Structure 1
Amino acid sequence: MPDPSAAATSRWNDLRDRAASSAAMVVIGIFAVHFGGVWFQMLTVFVTAILMWELARMIRPESIVFSMMLAAGTASILSGLLGTHEQWFLLLIFLPAILGTFAMSRERLTFFCFAVMIVAAGWGLVSFRDEYGGIWLYWLILVVIATDVLGYFAGKSIGGPKFWPRVSPKKTWSGTAAGWIGAGLVGALFLVFTDAGWGLVWVSMLLSLASQMGDIAESALKRRMGVKDSSALIPGHGGLFDRFDGLLGAALFLLVIALFVDIPRVDL
């Protein structure tokens, strides 16, 4: 007969590694967001370049040199464009995605779509921080954390029907709903720090959904490529893409909101 205590232990055996890696990245992220300027730019350029490297390695694992060159080119172009606001010039941020697509021997459309999302989110978050202040990025980060943490614990504790078993077999409806609730609570908290109305609660829940879709999109990519993790960059716990997939989805949703909604600037 299976040992119930052993099953319970195995259910939570990734908690320590997950918490440690998440805590380290949260501390670094909060530091960069707080000080802004070159600190946030450097972190964003680094993360964007690594995500491009991992994307290329998942799709074209046989070419180490290509993935390294793609990461270096992404970092160079993005860092060189962060200070400009010329719209025609900003089209150059998509150059790594375009050149990388032509260099792919397979899955060109897949690479292009993910690469465009990565570089757009990288440049967009820096511009968003400069224009609207750091409070909104704290809100973004905390919504993603609440979505991930509450979804993890609810999914492990409650279980139940799967949200999308063909793509993400571990994600449950209980965890998904718990993430929405957590995000709504974060939105309610930030009513204290901003002039936003109660609509921020619903926007936070939509942001949570976008975060979950980012997670599912990366899960679908890994299943399509036949890989377990985006890389082995974080010992025993995958790559940066595995930790930033939700933030990527939420960031893109936030940038779309900024195109249609008048967001008030809130300084730290």
Structure 2
Amino acid sequence: MDSPPDSGRIRLPQPKNSAGRSLPVAISVGVGLGALVIACLVIPYAWYPLIAVAMGLATWEVTRRLGENGYDIQFPVLLLCGQAMIWLSWPFGATGLLSAFGVSVLVTVVARLFHHGRTVKPENWLRDAGISVFVLCWIPLCGGFGAMLSLISSDEVSGWAFIGSFMLCVVASDVGGYASGVFFGSHPMAPAISPKKSWEGFAGSVVFAAVVGMVVMVTLLKYDDPVHYLLGLGFGAGLSLCAILGDLVESQFKRDLDIKDMSAMIPGHGGMMDRIDGMLPAAMLTWVMLNAIS
């Protein structure tokens, strides 16, 4: 009896879920963004301007979307305060960043109080002031920690290696979660917040990022003792968890506003916040962890 024509062939797993975007466009644009990041790591003093521009664009996206949905958010105030937080972290480190954040909160709250002048009663002041402070925490504060990664240094490792370690772990989390979710995703993780996220994708994100974290700890950061192997696994896994939580926060933000993307600024990726939502909280954790072990 003749065997079926397909017998003996190796069958690759087929995707169970749709990616939801044009993959060729997303990949090509992602490669271009990666090249821009690498260029800013190589060019002296280019990292801070890159972060400052990215945080400014992200702030514009968020405030524009909030304004479209009835929130009275003062973009010029948030932009200036956010830029002050980022740039003051360069000469003064965490002290400059956190001090500027404290002043920015006060300025933002008072500016919203008198947004329509002294003679007009503020409407929805508590709501708008609260979400303005949230935006300061979400974007420039986390971005400031990402900028300060370039200031970390040790005897054998320069700032670009710390930034590269952070970026590689977050990208590994995205790639691992994407591949696992598309091919194996069956069990929704948080359907009320992000219906497409699955526990299979979550596992892929954490495992892949943990492995990459161990590799970068040994190669880029040049820690070669067994304790740091374990720290590397924890480092990668921790950044993956932060990236996932950051993505869930943005998903709920968009769900509240009933929008799909923050903007169409980056073809194949949506807006700036759609691209960096997971990186922002991960940057803060990276700065804390690397300062603790370096």
Residues 88 and 19 of structure 1: CA distance in aligned 2, closer, same or farther (over 3 Å): closer
In the alignment, what sits opposite 1:109?
130
In the alignment, what sits opposite 1:22?
30
Q: Distance in 2 between matches of 1:185 and 1:10?
A: 25
Contact 1:121 1:252 in 2 (8 A): yes
Identical-pair percentage: 23
Give the CA deviation at 1:94.
Answer: 5.1
Of 207, 213, 222, the residue aligned with 1:181 is 207
Q: Distance in 1 between matches of 2:205 and 2:16?
A: 23
Answering whether residue 100 of structure 2 is matched by residue 92 of structure 1, we say yes
Give the CA deviation at 1:253.
Answer: 1.6
TM-score normalized by the length of structure 1? 0.82
Letter in 2 for 1:244: I
Q: Secondary structure at the match of 1:84?
A: helix
Greater CA drift, 42-51 or 9-18: 9-18
1:98-247 alignment, distance < 5 Å? 98-100=106-108, 103=112, 106-132=127-153, 133-190=159-216, 191-193=218-220, 194-195=222-223, 197-198=228-229, 199-235=231-267, 237-247=269-279
Letter in 1 for 2:148: S
Greater CA drift, 186-195 or 134-143: 186-195
Give the CA deviation at 1:123.
Answer: 2.0
Residues 69 and 115 of structure 1: CA distance in aligned 2, closer, same or farther (over 3 Å): same
Gaps of 5+ in 2: 1-13, 113-123, 154-158
Q: Secondary structure at the match of 2:293?
A: coil
**Larger Rg over CA atoms:** 2
Q: Distance in 2 between matches of 1:186 and 1:45?
A: 27
Q: Secondary structure at the match of 1:233?
A: coil
Q: Secondary structure at the match of 2:92?
A: coil
Residues 182 and 156 of structure 1: CA distance in aligned 2, closer, same or farther (over 3 Å): same
Contact 1:168 1:220 in 2 (8 A): yes
Give the CA deviation at 1:95.
Answer: 4.7
Residue deviations 1:98-117, cap 9 Å, x none?
A: 54456375454344223223
Contact 1:59 1:111 in 2 (8 A): no
Give the CA deviation at 1:53.
Answer: 1.2
Gaps of 5+ in 1: 1-6, 264-268
* CA RMSD between the two structures: 3.0
Q: Secondary structure at the match of 1:205?
A: helix
Q: Distance in 2 between matches of 1:94 and 1:107?
A: 18
TM-score normalized by the length of structure 2? 0.75
In the alignment, what sits opposite 1:59?
66
Structure number having the greater helix percentage: 1
Q: Distance in 1 between matches of 2:214 and 2:97?
A: 39
Residue deviations 1:109-144, cap 9 Å, x none?
A: 344223223212222222221123221211111111
Q: Secondary structure at the match of 1:251?
A: helix
Q: Distance in 2 between matches of 1:163 and 1:31?
A: 37
